Amino acid sequence: MPLINIRTVKGLLDEDKKQELYQRITELMVEIEGGGDPDFKKYVWILLEEHDASDWSISGVTLTEQTVREIKGKLV
């Protein structure tokens, strides 16, 4: 059983984006690891962990809520 662990900044993904992420990753795992068998879906576990912006650092700089808003604005 594959367990996919995703860590992201809290507030970056809304519920629709999370559901899309779960769906697409599940489909990918069914295709790659499950050989295309749709029954393999029941074995795909996904854990999404959301952490505060202040717990993240990029290039040695702690993320701010403003940075998160800027990143979120660039998501399609």
CATH of domain 3-74: 3.30.429.10
Residue 75 reports pLDDT greater than 90:
no
Kindly report the average pLDDT of the chain as a whole number. Answer: 94
Query: Beta strand pairing status for 57-58 and 45-51?
Result: unpaired
pTM to 2 decimal places: 0.83
- Confidence class for position 74, pLDDT limits 50, 70, 90: confident
In DSSP notation, 40-74 reads GGGG-EEEEEEE-GGG-EETTEE--HHHHHHHHHH
